[in-house]
Structure 1
Amino acid sequence: MSKQPTIREISAGLGEQDAARVKRVLDGGIRIPAQPRVLNELRKLIARQELDVRPLARTINQDPGLTAMLFKVVGNAAYRKHQPFDSVEQILHAVGVEQTCNLIQAIALRNVGMASDKRVYEAFWARSQAVGELAMLIADERVAVCNLFPDQAYLAGIFHACGVPLLLQRFPSYCRELRLGTPGHWTNWQEEDRKFNTDHAVVGYLIARHWCLPDFICNAIRYQHSMLELGDHEARSMVAILQLAIELHARDQRVPNSDWDLAKPQVLPELGLSEDALPEFVDVVLERYGATAAV
């Protein structure tokens, strides 16, 4: 895990138009949420190339809420071959240190309090959690094709919409104009752009970079709605996983997903799926997802 970049360094990695959008958000007095102390301590231990997982486990166990959520996440069917887990040390050994830290980084986002509207924020978190868990399962099923792993997909799934709470803070009319209080309704990035001259993908990229997520995950967040702009970039497969996870969440909730028809022609070949194979694949993933939710 690398040194936390400054806002100037992050913005320098954006195009001129995106950098202007980020400036518009930050000029409103919004601060990018800081990472919890536990993550900073884990980074220091990993930087020392600590081979003993005990100090890592002690650091994680300092935050009971984070620890409890870690056990819930590794209860996902994507980790079925390692279950059951009896301790954080066992998770670190079985899942891997870097992989466990990816999961913790995703879990920690929930506790930073980015939105003042509790009801909308809880809906945001429930959706992000569901997309993250579905992304884990898709990655687990397609690992031979995509060479992406459940912890990476979960991290991308949790962070993919993390720009929304900051936009809620920055623009008082954001929730009303995008109808986020309507059950089953979710923000539309094109509508965000028209009304606020920015969108949650650009702001999410800023947060992901600030939290030192891997570059390909940051780029997947930025280009989650514009996969064609990535060309042959390594983030393409992660965008495909995110788009399919969002579609499966919409199907599970029985709500429309306006992006899917446009995304599907790029997503399916990237994941090595055909139109004919998709229904069976969807059934397998949703069945595994339902089994995890029932635990």
Structure 2
Amino acid sequence: MLTIKEQIEHAKTLFEIDKIPALPKEILKLNELLSGLQLPETNEIVKLISQNMNLTAEVIKTANYPLFSKHRAADVTSIRDAVDVIGVKSLKSLVMGIYYSMEYLGRARTEINQLSLNTASLCGFLSERVMHIRSDQAYLGGLFYNSGCIILATKFKDYDEVFMECLAAPYHTKQIENERYTSSRNVAGLLLAKKWQLGKSMGHIIYQAHKKHLPEIEDDSIRTLVALVQLSEACIIEHEMPEYFTEEVALMRENANQELMIAEEDIREAIDYLFPQPGSF
């Protein structure tokens, strides 16, 4: 069995890492501005975001997600309101996620796109029930945990079929993808995390996203975030794609919540709020 380092070196060649686009200048400038020792003025942030129409639209769209807008009566329609709703501190950590949603998720198969966005939303909501986890951390974990799928889908024409197979067998994802492609979404996602400098914590979440034995993850915050991603993904599959809700998915849901201990009533309330059934209020 290859070491992680050997897996990464193999994946660099397989996926031609140099062809993964670098971050655009607006994102780099925004990230630099938000990473300073002092928080910038809102006017500076608004001016920079406004220079890119696609980025403007995506920030406003993000601000209207239930995670950020649940206490507002009206939709967010301007960049200034969007920055106020998200908050400068949260926007700093969300910049990469906003770009990823803008440039990558929109190109993905509908199921990959929706699973990522819905899992991210549920992670953010449920994080309120978990100690020491910020909602923006949880949201990003849910958004990026399957980021390697986009790279696999771009490289292999038959990946859509494999992705759907893995939905029903989350604990076997690495095995299924390695047998077919000699690499997996976990390693491909690590390459993206490294190129975009998402940080070691996000790399660990991506690599261990479907780990079966959660107690083996020594870092408390990473273990909690991985459990939150697993619980959220399982709940989304159960709610949105019940034909893929197998015994293995149910087991992942159970194992993850043994780690988190979130009341089933709270989980159901979050799902009903985020994904109301037609005709419900």
TM-score using structure 1 length: 0.77
Shift of 1:215: 2.8
Which shows bigger deviation, 166-175 or 57-66?
166-175
Rounded to whole Å, the distance in 2 between the matches of 1:190 and 1:257 is 19
Asked if structure 2 preserves the Cα contact closer than 8 Å seen for 1:217 and 1:238, the reply is no
Shift of 1:185: 7.2
Letter matched to residue 17 of structure 1: T
Letter matched to residue 113 of structure 2: W
Asked if structure 1 preserves the Cα contact closer than 8 Å seen for 2:125 and 2:135, the reply is yes
Counterpart of 1:256 in structure 2 is 244
Q: Which runs of 5+ in 1 are unaligned?
A: 1-14
Letter matched to residue 244 of structure 2: P
Shift of 1:93: 3.6
Asked if structure 1 preserves the Cα contact closer than 8 Å seen for 2:11 and 2:187, the reply is no
Which of the numbers 164, 183, 187 marks the counterpart of 1:202? 187
Asked if structure 2 preserves the Cα contact closer than 8 Å seen for 1:179 and 1:185, the reply is no
* Change in 2 beyond 3 A, CA 1:71/1:291: farther
Rounded to whole Å, the distance in 2 between the matches of 1:18 and 1:150 is 29
Shift of 1:225: 1.2
Q: Percent identity?
A: 21
Secondary structure at the aligned position of 1:234 is classed as: helix
Q: Deviations over 1:3-36 (max 9, x none)?
A: xxxxxxxxxxxx9622222222221334333223
Asked if structure 1 preserves the Cα contact closer than 8 Å seen for 2:109 and 2:160, the reply is no
The answer as to 2:68 corresponding to 1:81 is: no
Secondary structure at the aligned position of 2:23 is classed as: coil
The answer as to 2:54 corresponding to 1:65 is: yes
Which shows bigger deviation, 232-241 or 25-34?
25-34
Q: Deviations over 1:41-90 (max 9, x none)?
A: 11222344353121111111222233223222222333323564453233
Counterpart of 2:6 in structure 1 is 20
Which of the numbers 23, 26, 33 marks the counterpart of 1:38? 26
Secondary structure at the aligned position of 2:133 is classed as: coil
* Change in 2 beyond 3 A, CA 1:122/1:266: closer
Counterpart of 1:103 in structure 2 is 94
Asked if structure 2 preserves the Cα contact closer than 8 Å seen for 1:76 and 1:292, the reply is no
Asked if structure 1 preserves the Cα contact closer than 8 Å seen for 2:148 and 2:192, the reply is yes
Shift of 1:101: 3.0
* Change in 2 beyond 3 A, CA 1:257/1:67: farther
The answer as to 2:40 corresponding to 1:51 is: yes
Shift of 1:194: 2.4
Secondary structure at the aligned position of 2:154 is classed as: helix
The answer as to 2:237 corresponding to 1:244 is: no
Correspondence 1:87-166 to 2 at 5 A: 87-113=78-104, 121-140=109-128, 142=129, 145-166=130-151
Rounded to whole Å, the distance in 1 between the matches of 2:141 and 2:71 is 23
* Change in 2 beyond 3 A, CA 1:66/1:122: farther
Asked if structure 2 preserves the Cα contact closer than 8 Å seen for 1:60 and 1:67, the reply is yes
Which of the numbers 149, 160, 175 marks the counterpart of 1:190? 175
Q: After TM superposition, what 4+ stretches of structure 1 lie above 6 angstroms from structure 2?
A: 184-187
Asked if structure 2 preserves the Cα contact closer than 8 Å seen for 1:223 and 1:229, the reply is no
* Change in 2 beyond 3 A, CA 1:192/1:265: same
Rounded to whole Å, the distance in 2 between the matches of 1:265 and 1:108 is 33
Rounded to whole Å, the distance in 1 between the matches of 2:168 and 2:101 is 21
Rounded to whole Å, the distance in 1 between the matches of 2:22 and 2:205 is 21
Shift of 1:235: 0.5
Shift of 1:127: 2.1
Secondary structure at the aligned position of 1:255 is classed as: helix
Asked if structure 1 preserves the Cα contact closer than 8 Å seen for 2:124 and 2:139, the reply is yes
Shift of 1:222: 1.3
- CA RMSD for the aligned pairs? 3.2
Which shows bigger deviation, 191-200 or 80-89?
80-89
Q: Deviations over 1:160-209 (max 9, x none)?
A: 11101212233454445x165x8x87983321122223211222122123
Correspondence 1:216-227 to 2 at 5 A: 216-226=201-211, 227=214
Greater RCO, 1 or 2 (C-alpha within 8 Å, sep 6+): 1
Rounded to whole Å, the distance in 2 between the matches of 1:186 and 1:270 is 20
Secondary structure at the aligned position of 1:286 is classed as: helix
